[in-house]
Amino acid sequence: MIQRRRVVLLDLVGSTAVIGGALLFQYVGGLQPCELCLIERWPYYAAIPLLLLALAAGVRRPIAPAILAVVLIGFLAGSAVAVYHVGVEQHWFAGPSACTGPASAAHTIAELKAQLLNQQPVRCDVVQWSLFGVSLAGWNLIASLALAGLSLSALRARGGRRRR
């Protein structure tokens, strides 16, 4: 049996762990996030207070499924951004012009200066760190899909329990 409260707690712990890990990589590990990395954090930033609200309201109240649906949509959107980011890293897709492409396209010193001033310090198309050949964007994709699956299972649970 699946208890909705337990799944909401797992979503909350997972979201907090992903954001905590990202912030540790940034502030302790020194890995600065690119533009896409920052966008990938948005669903977690939204999910944490929403999941806290669902717990505070009570998972059996009518607002809880609506909150879980919003969280599910957020995780699916985050998964889509993560797929795009992995594609940019693998050069399957063109990335945002602000954080991809060569820095040597300028023909004059003034053009080079303007380009350097407008360029993101961290490129979206370069993998900064990976584990077992999977980049942080790839791990984010896995986490987003897992949390989306948890959210879906909580939505499918009726009255806090799912019948066999």
| Residue 40 located in a structural domain | yes
Stated pTM of the model: 0.76
- Domain holding 60, by residue range, is 4-94+101-156
Task: Quote the pLDDT of residue 102.
Answer: 56
> What is the C-alpha radius of gyration for the chain, rounded to an integer number of angstroms?
19
162: in domain: no
Please tell me the predicted confidence (pLDDT) of residue 106. 64
Rounded to whole angstroms, the Cα distance separating 160 from 125 reads 43
Establish if 163 belongs to a structural domain. Answer: no
pLDDT number for residue 161 = 46
pLDDT for the residue numbered 99: 64
pLDDT of residue 98: 61
Evaluate whether residue 164 is within a structural domain: no
Total number of domains in the chain: 1
Task: Say how far apart CA 33 and CA 66 lie, in whole Å.
Answer: 31
Average pLDDT across each block of 10 residues of the chain; the chain has 164 residues. List them in order.
75 94 90 87 94 81 83 94 88 72 66 69 74 85 93 72 44
Whether 55 contacts 12, CB under 8 Å: yes
